[in-house]
Amino acid sequence: MARKFLYAVVILIVLAGAALMTYRFWGKELLRLAMVPRVAVEQLAPPPSYAGAEMWIARPDKPGNPALWVPAGQSTAADPPAALFFIHPTSYLEATHWNAPLDNAEANARAELFLRGQASAFNGIAAIWAPRYRQVAFGAFLTSQAEASRALDFAYRDVAAAFAAFLEQAGDRPIILAGHSQGALMLTRLLADQVAGKPVAKRIVAAYAVGWPISLTADLPALGLPACEREDQAGCILSWQSFAEPADHAMVTDIFDATTGLTGKPRAATAMVCTNPLTGRAGGSAPAEANLGTLIPSKDLKSAELTAGLVPAACDGRGFLNIGASPPNMGPYMLPGNNYHVFDYSLFWGNVRADAARRMAAFGRK
């Protein structure tokens, strides 16, 4: 499922930045030629040490922490009660390696941008750890070669090592887990392997596995936590995938329905976890007036303005999040099918921030 779903995401992203007519003529073959690495998978050394600050993009003691960015009118917590482990989405776009070199400057710069627009939503309630990891290249999701599966295992090995170090460094604080796209994929694997049935599960305030499909019946039972049903519930999982109208979900559903879930059951025709980020509840709808703030990015993507009341949200029967008409001024990164995957967090930044605080309060009561 991991390789096949992100295969669709890659197609969408490449289409957003490449010539549509070229894709129509050469399609998948062109993508493979351009993005699938033509080298052998490197036998990566064991995971690096995450004891020091150098292997973290964000850590409470790291200068220039990009996750501490906030838009005008917002502030970070001086002594946050929770600790956040955040796994960034794919930022390595080259085809020279199956796994991103840790010193790749462009990939690292993109990862910092993702932290500013995504992880920053939690800095009002949590101290933030976000590791560098030898993420899988986009091209790994365009092929069924065994190298791709090996590369995924290497990437996850780094994430698991970083999580173990995070647990030591964060002390006994309550924990929030979050990720997006490839980061959410890594998070689901982490939940199944390192959280489900373990003592640490009792410390989880919430897990935000955003921008990744999670079947309610074929995946969720393996993750050790239930889907969030209420806005005041702690110890649960949130997930959504944002589409504007008219939406075309085929590039997700065609692949999703052909795969087997983490429980071994088929995903075909199963509903997906859909948390409405405007209400914090499972399913349902909410008007734009309930949106506490969408991040409208600047042209250089280095800053953003928080605008309230701009985007509504409604979960459909399958589990996709409908945001109505395309919101204005979001930049050029809307994907074919009216897929707003790139903006899954920033569309609802203000509500994610409020949601995390609300669930932290619920965790304290529990």
Interval 320-344: pLDDT, tens = 999 999 887 777 676 668 889 889 9
Q: How much is the pLDDT for 330?
A: 79
Q: How far from 82 is each of 27, 137, 181, 364, CA to CA, in Å?
A: 46, 32, 23, 11
Residue that is written with structure tokens 């365009």 in the block: 142
Give the helix ranges, DSSP H, for the chain. 2-17, 20-35, 105-117, 146-169, 182-190, 250-256, 349-365
The pair of structure tokens assigned to 152 is 């995924």
Question: Bigger pLDDT: 202 or 4?
Answer: 202
Three-state DSSP class for residue 249 = coil
- Of 2-6, 119-123, 231-235, 319-323, the poorest mean pLDDT is in 2-6
Percent pLDDT > 90 in the chain is 68
**Residue 105: how many CB atoms within 10 A of its CB?**
8
- How confident is the model at residue 299, as a pLDDT? 78
Residue 353 has pLDDT above 90, yes or no: yes
Residue ranges with strand state E in the chain = 56-58, 82-87, 126-131, 175-180, 204-210, 236-238, 242-243, 275-276, 281-282, 285-286, 294-297, 304-307, 313-315, 321-322
- pLDDT at position 321, please? 98
Report the SS3 class of residue 292.
Answer: coil
- Size of the chain, expressed as the number of residues it contains: 366
C-alpha angle 123-301-6 in degrees, rounded to nearest 5: 80
Question: Hey, what amino acid is at 92?
Answer: Y
Supply the pLDDT for residue 141: 57
User: 247: closest CA among 178, 335, 175, 164?
Assistant: 335
pLDDT, position 38 = 65
pLDDT at residue number 39: 58
Burial of 350 (0-12, 13-18, 19+ CB in 10 A): buried
Query: What pLDDT sits at residue 33?
Result: 54
Task: State the pLDDT confidence band at 23, using cuts at 50, 70 and 90.
Answer: very low
Position 96: which residue type?
T
The per-residue pLDDT for 91 is 85
The more confident residue out of 90 and 112 is: 112
Pairwise pLDDT comparison (161 vs 5), residue with the higher score = 161
Retrieve residue 276's tokens: 């409405």
Average pLDDT over every residue of 293-309: 88
**Cβ-Cβ contacts under 8 Å for 80 (sequence gap 6 or more):** 123, 124, 125, 126, 127
Query: For all residues of the chain together, what is the average pLDDT?
Result: 87
Query: With 60 as the cut, is the pLDDT of residue 22 above it?
Result: no
For residue 52, what is the DSSP state?
Answer: S
**255 neighbors 8 (Cβ within 8 angstroms):** yes
pLDDT attached to residue 42: 63
Give pTM, 2 decimals.
0.91
